[in-house]
Structure formats: structure tokens, C-alpha cells
Amino acid sequence: MTYTLKVAERSDIHIGRTEELLPSLLPDGRIIVITDTNIDRYQHPLLKDREYIMIGTGESIKTLHTVEMIYRRFVELGIDRECFVLGIGGGIVTDITGFVASTYMRGLRFGFVSTTLLGQVDASVGGKNGVNLDGYKNMVGTFNQPQFVICDPTLLGTLPEREFRSGLAEIVKAGVIADRSLFERLENNSFEALLSDHKLLGEVILAAIKVKAEIVGRDERESGERRKLNLGHTFAHAIEKLSSRMNHGEAVAVGTILAARIALRLGVLATSDAERIERMLSSLGFSLTLPIELEQLVTAISKDKKSDGNALHFVLPTGIGSCEIRKMTIDQITQLCLAEKC
């Protein structure tokens, strides 16, 4: 079964099998693939008969240094504007590929085969491309939509459970901010069911992508509503920067809980809904304990690129399937965190 939806009127997101979809999506002419060593190891058939550049894995390689290395390889290989760049991999590969393709020779066409759950439901969709700078997440980048993204649930079988769980945090986020029935579906299915039932997983992926596609369609460059997609991320980016113990989704889960507690404290979220969010993330196996000191957390969030002077556009869940964006100072957030013993 294949589903297709559009983001920002020009990027097609396809949920289905890569081998069925990719041939008709690739243009004629030279295709250069950017991929990583995990794909080489676990999904090598995707690279068969392709010209590719391989990068390493892990957040630490998402830098301008890696970008520069790829530009140099492009020059050596004679890549020009006629070529199409295909990123095959998780969020790190697609973020880097989108950035390289958007900037090399002022822009080449590009598309993605997204191979992780986190990539499929968040990173590869929506046209944000970029790299980290001095450990601060996504400080350098572009808004530029890929021509297509293939989200292939059958590729997720080789993911380690921890990596799979990381993607679920973004699906929970989509449910909390805008899709109550998605959240309820997650409540009614276990981690094991999501892992093993491809039909269920495909439908849940589709629902999460729909949430993102609709929001990005209304606010592509994040001047308003797109900020909702950052629920939990202000805290998560700081946690990821300061603690090597948590991956992105794990940090988003903790960040979502902190945001829910702040919303509770402000009286915009009912206790029963805050408990549902907490129960859901616990039942999926997330640790919800802050892995760093609160003081470290608040210092780091003040440096988040989304801060505006001493204020942040903070996303507060207001129910299951609804949220609001509130401009809050770092001091307010700190006081609320302290009051709640986050």
C-alpha cells in the first residue's frame, strides 16, 4: 500500500516500498547518492549500481566539516547542476544532503529515501536542512524542500530498538500537538505491536507526517504555527548538547514531559492529560528523568537559536491534540521548572 501527500505544494512524501517508488521518482541523468556506513552495512541493496559518497554516523559528524568534505568530493567527481542528489539514510544524512544540495553551485535538485523512524516522521519532511555549530543543533541551514521523500516502513526492521523508540517520541509529539486520535491509537497499542505490525506502523507514520505536512503547508519558514513542532525541543536540544546519554527522541520525551508540567503549572493543561502524556511515554519505555542539572539546562536553553533576546516561543500542550505557543522569558521558564522540581 502506498500513500502520497504533498508538503508546501511542491514536495511529495511517499509512504511505501522504495523499490516500487524510487525508479519512477528519479529523473534521467546522473544521480549522486549521499549515504552512511549503516546503510552500507544493513541496507546495501539500496546502493547497488549507484554512485555514492559515504559519511560516518552520529550527531558529531553533522558539521560544516562534513559538508566541506562532500563539496570537495563533488568537485572531484565533476558533479554539476545537471545532477540529482539523493540522500539515503536517517535524519543526519538527509539534513546534510539537503544542505549540501541546496548550497553547492547555488543549488541542485534533491530527494531522500528516509530509513529511520525519526527521519520518516520528522527530519526528512518539511524542508529544514542543516548542520550543528559548536554543538548547538541545526544552527546553520536552509529551508528548501526535497522534490520527494520516500518513507519506507519495511526498512525499519533493521533499526535497533532504541533508535525505533526515538522516532516514536516524535510521533507522540505529533499526537499531543494536533492529533488526538493518533495519540489514542498509540495508547491502545504497545511498543511491541508498533514494532512488529507493519500496517499499524505505516498508518501511524502517515498520521504523524500528515500533522507535520499540514502545519508546514501553512507556515513553511517557521514564523508562527510551525513552532508547534518544537514541543519539547527547547529542552531536548539542551539535553542533547550537555548529555551524551540521550539520543534525540529520548531527549524529546523528557522535554515533552517538562513542557507538560509547565503547562500544568500555568493552568492550561488538565492534570489528567498531563498524566496521559507521562503514561504514554513511560509505556513506550522512555526514561523521563532529566539527565543533567536544572541550572545547566536553563543556561543552555538561553542559547537556543530559537530564543529571541531573553524570551522563547515556548510550546505548551493544552490538551491531547492541542497546544499553544507562548512567548516566555527564560526566567519564567526557570521559575516554573524549579516550582515543578523538573
- Confirm or reject binding of residue 229 to ligand GLY (CB under 6 A): yes
**Residue from the set 111, 126, 249, 255 that interacts with ligand GLY by CB under 6 A:** 126
> Considering the rule CB under 6 A, would residue 228 count as an interface residue with ligand GLY?
no
Q: How far is the CB of 290 from ligand GLY (least distance, A)?
A: 21
Reply yes or no on whether 44 is catalytic: no
Per the annotation, the verdict on 279 as an active-site residue is no
> In the annotation, is 138 catalytic?
no
- The one among 7, 11, 34, 122 contacting ligand GLY by CB under 6 A: 122
Asked about 212 being catalytic, the answer comes back as yes
**Closest by Cα among 197, 237, 15 to 114:** 15
Would you say 331 and 298 are in contact if contact means Cβ atoms under 8 Å apart? no
140 DSSP 8-state letter: E
What string of H, E and C letters represents the secondary structure of 225-246? HHHHHHCCHHHHHHHHHHCCCC
Compute the least distance from the CB of residue 45 to ligand GLY, in Å.
Answer: 29
The stretch among 100-108, 120-128, 142-150, 191-199 that binds ligand GLY (CB under 6 A) is 120-128
Please state the closest distance from residue 3 (CB atom) to ligand GLY, in A. Answer: 20
Candidates 2-10, 61-69, 223-231, 245-253 — which segment interacts with ligand GLY by CB under 6 A?
223-231
Segment interacting with ligand GLY (CB under 6 A) among 26-34, 122-130, 186-194, 258-266: 122-130
> Which one-letter amino acid corresponds to residue 16?
G
74, 79, 83, 87: CA torsion to nearest 10 = -10
- The answer to whether 99 touches 71, Cβ cutoff 8 Å, is no
Total site size for ligand GLY, rule CB under 6 A: 6
Shortest distance in whole angstroms from residue 233 CB to ligand GLY: 7
Q: In the bound complex, what is the minimum distance in angstroms from residue 192's beta carbon to ligand GLY? A: 27
Nearest residue to ligand GLY, scored by beta-carbon proximity: 229
Q: Which residues contact 97 (CB under 8 A, 6 or more apart)?
A: 34, 85, 86, 87, 89, 110, 112, 129
The neighbour count for residue 329, using CB atoms within 10 Å, is 15
Is 303 tagged catalytic?
Answer: no
230 is catalytic: yes
Q: Are 109 and 146 in contact (CB under 8 A)?
A: no
- In whole angstroms, the minimum distance from the beta carbon of 328 to ligand GLY comes to 19
Answer whether 239's CB lies under 8 Å from 290's CB.
Answer: yes
CA angle 311, 314, 318 (to 5 degrees): 145
Question: Crossing angle, helix 233-242 and helix 294-301, to 10 degrees?
Answer: 110
Nearest to ligand GLY of 33, 213 (CB atom): 213
Contact mark string toward ligand GLY, 128..167, x via CB under 6 A: x---------------------------------------
Catalytic residue among 14, 62, 128, 241: 128
How many residues are present in the chain? 342
- DSSP per-residue string spanning 100-136: HHHHGGG--EEEEEE-SHHIIIIITSSSEEEEEETTE
- Asked if 237 is an active-site residue, the reply is yes
Could you tell me which stretch among 98-106, 224-232, 266-274, 327-335 binds ligand GLY (CB under 6 A)?
224-232
Residues with catalytic annotation?
Answer: 106, 128, 170, 212, 222, 226, 230, 233, 237, 248
Q: Which stretches of the chain bind ligand GLY, using CB under 6 A?
A: 122, 126, 128, 226, 229-230
